[in-house]
Structure 1
Amino acid sequence: MKKVITSALIYANGPLHLGHLVEYIQTDIYSRSCKLQKQDAIYVCADDTHGTPIEINAMQMKITPEQLIDKFHKEHKEDFDKFFVAFDEYYTTNGTKNKEVVELIYKKVKENGYIYEKEIEATYCEHCKRFLPDRFVKGTCPICGAENQYGDTCEKCNSTYKPQDLRNSYCIVCGNTPILKKSKHFFFKLSALKDQIIEYFKRTKFQEEIKNYLLNWLNEGLKDWDISRDGPYFGFKIPDSDQYFYVWFDAPIGYIGSTKEYCDKNNLDWKDYWISKDSEIYHFIGKDIIYFHFLFWPAVLIAADFALPKHIQVHGFLNVNGQKMSKSRGTFITAKDFIERGGDPQYLRYYYAALLGNSINDFDFNDNDYRTIINSNLIGKFGNLVNRLSTFLLKNFDGKTDEDIEDIYNQFSLLKENYFDLLNNLEYRKAIELFQKYTDTANKYFQDNQPWQLLKTDKNKTLTILTTTLSMIKDLAICLYPIIPQYCEEIATQLNFIIDIDNIGKPLLNHKINSSNIIFKKIEDNFTIIKKPAISEVQIVAGKILEVDDHPNADKLYVLKIDIGSDIRTVVAGIKPYYTKDELINKNICLVANLKPANLKGIFSNGMILAASSKDGKVGVLTHNQKPGTKVVFENVDYPDSFEQISIDKFKELEIVSSGDNVFCFDNCLICGNEKVFADKKIAGKVS
């Protein structure tokens, strides 16, 4: 029986973070376990590379979408390698193999009568002369009233809607209000497949918590799905049309495209994995994409006469030290951050395994808990036993074992079956608990027999005890291999055995180990993955411009005198092309007050005015209605009682943007007193 294992495709629009790694480590453990059990399994994945966020990010970085996705594909693969995530194929949804499969499935679905055309009204920008896909439109959420939300989903209330449903909508490129324009789109008849989806749910075992979601959606009725987007759009064109496939149509097909790429490289037939009845498909996903994977994706597979997933495993979200991952709180940790701050990727794998069960509940990365589980359980018990045993055996018996073992080794006879049953059922936490139970047994046996004392009176008995303990360690290391593969390989090299499931239960008799070196290093007591966020180090105050003079040595600079309550600051600002002197006199502004003074063309500037810049070159200073000296802060950020001076590079770590009416940094709104700060002239864009 062939088995294809997948993780959700990571979007090629940003770095890999600890939340992503939950899923990829969970999947990789399962994949390695299957292969260790000699199953015919492959683990495939890809970067999700299409859609408007890719186009927008590339536009902001002034590169092509292709250059952007190539950049992140390389970065993602490098990060995965460092965390020992071993894909058989890591592909891209923009690849030619995926395009072939997308067109094949579309053709099949269309032939089977599940595609039709319908005229709709779509958002269109008359200024940019283009249709605006969901992420090119922002506005006020029609459900909860949250401002600065994209045209497909609200990050505040998680509601989904159409771009035309937004209130006070605007084009993110030029800031103008879009109009509605008619366009013909392609729809997938999801509603026609309700009965088949229900039948699939009935015969497939899913996590209990998922069933309620599914039943609610099915009871509400299934609406046909718009699978096309107007150009320009970064994605695959629909055959014989000027429309493009919506990213959520071609993205999951990337699972198949990745399989095809792997099979073509290895002279295999991808259809044996995706169309044959003699195959099993296992998906691992987060609970934020349940809707697409349990409804849309199976419906497409049914309509195309493909095999359906045998299992879709859903996991919860990761919190960090009891808080949601947040850049403003310093709890948004990328894979690179974790390593740069001294984190060990294999320790993270073990820690995640110790937390993960067959549930969709959220769970927490806690610094103290992490240290305890690694230092006390993994290193203090297992790692320490490996080192003590190997050192003692080499020193006293030249690394050679006995020809016999004691009966206690028979207690390990059920380890293999019970442990791998738990991994197969994705009960990693219970598997770790079982591993620790058997490790305790081995430790107790070694400690109770005190070979260092017994050696003085009974050398033969001592060697038998060492041989028995060594055989236990070997079994434990093979079991642990899917979780911490490199460390287990190092143990196998030192103790001179092969990592093979068939070797569990076979004692190492008349054996010679190679060496004894410390493999596991304890985590320092002061280790933390939290880094103080730059947003809390920036002191912003309300100011009022009192004087405006031309800079004597620069045509585009003004020299300003600004009242910030406690004193009058001299500030050099590059806003001369955008404001007259009269427009600036008595203007309320926001000043970065703890920026290191800088010599700008011969005049020292003691601070920086914040201003928003639009895509079409317009500039508006951030303003307010409060008195000078009032604190200007981002909501939900903990600030210190006093501020140290910061460099301009530290300030540039912040990603501050204006919607015109509001100013945000990492989704935190900027306020002055009890009022929101806003951009003069309602300029929407980056703030600097």
Structure 2
Amino acid sequence: FDPEKQMFLPDRFIRGECPKCGAKDQYGDNCEVCGATYSPTELINAKSAISGATPITKDSEHYFFDLPQFEAQLKAWTEAGHLQDEIKNKLAEWFEQGLKQWDISRDAPYFGFQIPGVENKYFYVWLDAPIGYMASFKKLCDTQGLDFDEYFNKDSETELYHFIGKDIVYFHALFWPAMLMGADYRTPNAIFAHGFLTVNGQKMSKSRGTFIQARTYLESLNPECLRYYYAYKLSAKIDDIDLNLQDFKQRVNSDLVGKVVNIASRSAGFIVKKFNKTLSAYAIEGDLYNEFVAKGDDISKLYEARNYNQAMREIMKLADKANQYIDEHKPWQLVKEEGKEAQVHDVTSLAINLFRVLMTYLKPVLPEMAKQAEDFLNID
């Protein structure tokens, strides 16, 4: 309670030192550094973010979710392969400390949903926020005539995944599954947590000039480039992902422009000018094409395992081989030699088909670029 402003303080309006790891300038409900959750009264050297005053305690009736009741179910769920090892180990620490009753109410003023029938009481945002996932999907189902229960009932065979930041693991890997269990809904197949996004090695900060809004980026650059750059760095681990602008420029120019698009640009001109936009009938024969196609299973498994960085590296290895093939056969020289037109046709046609395979593998990351490639190749 802020004694100067005479108001109850929401968690985000209290700042202090984490009682678990000692990190400074943390919120009143959880630490962004170590991921711990706690009561605002546990915060060390707490201050009101509004007035700077030291908060005082006042009696207030609150509502709680009986999290310890689900401890056995949650332990079984976390051990069943739904989480990354780092997250599973972190949850094991929380289980050892013992689960506590979860305070799911907040006093006014608060920005959440008001608790029905209770004056000046609101649901804690992390109670209702995950329900928003279901509510949004329910609206989609109603709009498109889909059966919501087919996706969310307890026996549903639908694959359901959460992609979250590492700082909200507690809410998604403990609170949310417990809520679903209590409401008799299915739980996610897996929760994939990733690290923070940094810019040039620093935490995003307006004062340091490292805070980039999505709209600002979109006004200047192609979103597909950023999707590829993050995919190239994103693994199944929870490491932070850094946007280094110089490295970003180099990676995009090297991989997407210098390798992938270069295959098409080095070959398409021959097909258009010399062969009436028609590929050779022998363009998909041979070991190299078969090697590209055979790699599809491995790349698919990397996508499924959320090892996107490894998938991108495997695709770029193939792009290198395609460019090497063009370099070795030198169609720009062959076309000058009498009687070599058929060979030029075969070489450039194979290169175009290799490009097509690569764009198929990149489509989950570069959907617009893949669509442009399909239009360019006249693929229905």
Q: With structure 2 as the length reference, what TM-score do the two structures score?
A: 0.89
Q: CA deviation at 1:343?
A: 3.2
Distance in 2 (CA, whole Å) between partners of 1:431 and 1:261 is: 34
Distance in 2 (CA, whole Å) between partners of 1:296 and 1:275 is: 18
The answer as to 2:163 corresponding to 1:281 is no
Q: Which residue of 1 aligns with 2:199?
A: 320
Q: Percent identity?
A: 44
1:379-390 equivalence runs, <5 A: 379-390=257-268
Q: Which residue of 2 aligns with 1:81?
A: none
Q: 2:369 aligns with which of 487, 512, 528?
A: 487
Q: Which residue of 2 aligns with 1:230?
A: 107
Distance in 2 (CA, whole Å) between partners of 1:174 and 1:362 is: 33
CA spacing shift, 1:141–1:350, aligned 2, 3 Å: closer
Q: 1:356 aligns with which of 227, 230, 234?
A: 234
Distance in 2 (CA, whole Å) between partners of 1:379 and 1:355 is: 18
CA spacing shift, 1:177–1:199, aligned 2, 3 Å: closer
Q: CA deviation at 1:183?
A: 2.1
Q: 1:421 aligns with which of 301, 324, 328?
A: 301
CA spacing shift, 1:366–1:388, aligned 2, 3 Å: same
Distance in 1 (CA, whole Å) between partners of 2:15 and 2:291 is: 63
1:282-681 equivalence runs, <5 A: 282-340=161-219, 342-405=220-283, 406-408=285-287, 409-455=289-335, 456=337, 457-498=339-380
**1:408-442: CA deviation from partner (whole Å, max 9, x where unpaired):** 32222313222212111111111111111211222
RMSD: 2.6
Query: Could you list the runs of 5+ residues in structure 1 that have no partner in the other structure?
Result: 1-122, 499-688
> Which structure is larger by alpha-carbon Rg, 1 or 2?
1
Q: CA deviation at 1:324?
A: 2.8
Distance in 1 (CA, whole Å) between partners of 2:21 and 2:342 is: 77
Query: Could you list the runs of 5+ residues in structure 2 that have no partner in the other structure?
Result: none
**1:496-540: CA deviation from partner (whole Å, max 9, x where unpaired):** 113xxxxxxxxxxxxxxxxxxxxxxxxxxxxxxxxxxxxxxxxxx
Distance in 2 (CA, whole Å) between partners of 1:210 and 1:268 is: 33
- The letter for the 1-side match of 2:230 is Y
SS at match of 1:476: helix
Contact 1:207 1:358 in 2 (8 A): yes
CA spacing shift, 1:204–1:148, aligned 2, 3 Å: closer
Distance in 2 (CA, whole Å) between partners of 1:496 and 1:268 is: 33
CA spacing shift, 1:260–1:155, aligned 2, 3 Å: closer
Q: 1:259 aligns with which of 137, 159, 165?
A: 137
CA spacing shift, 1:124–1:458, aligned 2, 3 Å: closer
Distance in 1 (CA, whole Å) between partners of 2:116 and 2:141 is: 25
- The letter for the 1-side match of 2:236 is N
Q: CA deviation at 1:445?
A: 1.9
Q: Which residue of 1 aligns with 2:67?
A: 190
* Total equivalences in the alignment: 374
Contact 1:126 1:178 in 2 (8 A): no
Distance in 2 (CA, whole Å) between partners of 1:297 and 1:251 is: 10
CA spacing shift, 1:124–1:286, aligned 2, 3 Å: same
CA spacing shift, 1:206–1:177, aligned 2, 3 Å: closer
Contact 1:197 1:299 in 2 (8 A): yes
Tell which deviates more after alignment, 211-220 or 271-280: 271-280
Distance in 2 (CA, whole Å) between partners of 1:184 and 1:285 is: 32
Contact 2:154 2:184 in 1 (8 A): no
CA spacing shift, 1:322–1:494, aligned 2, 3 Å: same
Tell which deviates more after alignment, 451-460 or 144-153: 144-153
1:95-110 equivalence runs, <5 A: none
**1:131-159: CA deviation from partner (whole Å, max 9, x where unpaired):** 33223445676678888765335668876
Distance in 1 (CA, whole Å) between partners of 2:74 and 2:31 is: 28
Distance in 2 (CA, whole Å) between partners of 1:147 and 1:495 is: 56
CA spacing shift, 1:171–1:218, aligned 2, 3 Å: closer
SS at match of 1:364: strand
Distance in 2 (CA, whole Å) between partners of 1:226 and 1:256 is: 22
Distance in 2 (CA, whole Å) between partners of 1:148 and 1:434 is: 42
Q: Select the structure that is richer in strand.
A: 1
SS at match of 2:151: helix
- The letter for the 2-side match of 1:322 is G
Q: CA deviation at 1:351?
A: 1.0
Contact 2:35 2:170 in 1 (8 A): no
Q: 2:11 aligns with which of 119, 124, 134?
A: 134
CA spacing shift, 1:172–1:219, aligned 2, 3 Å: closer
Contact 2:293 2:357 in 1 (8 A): no
Distance in 2 (CA, whole Å) between partners of 1:270 and 1:189 is: 27
Q: Select the structure that is richer in helix.
A: 2
CA spacing shift, 1:156–1:449, aligned 2, 3 Å: closer
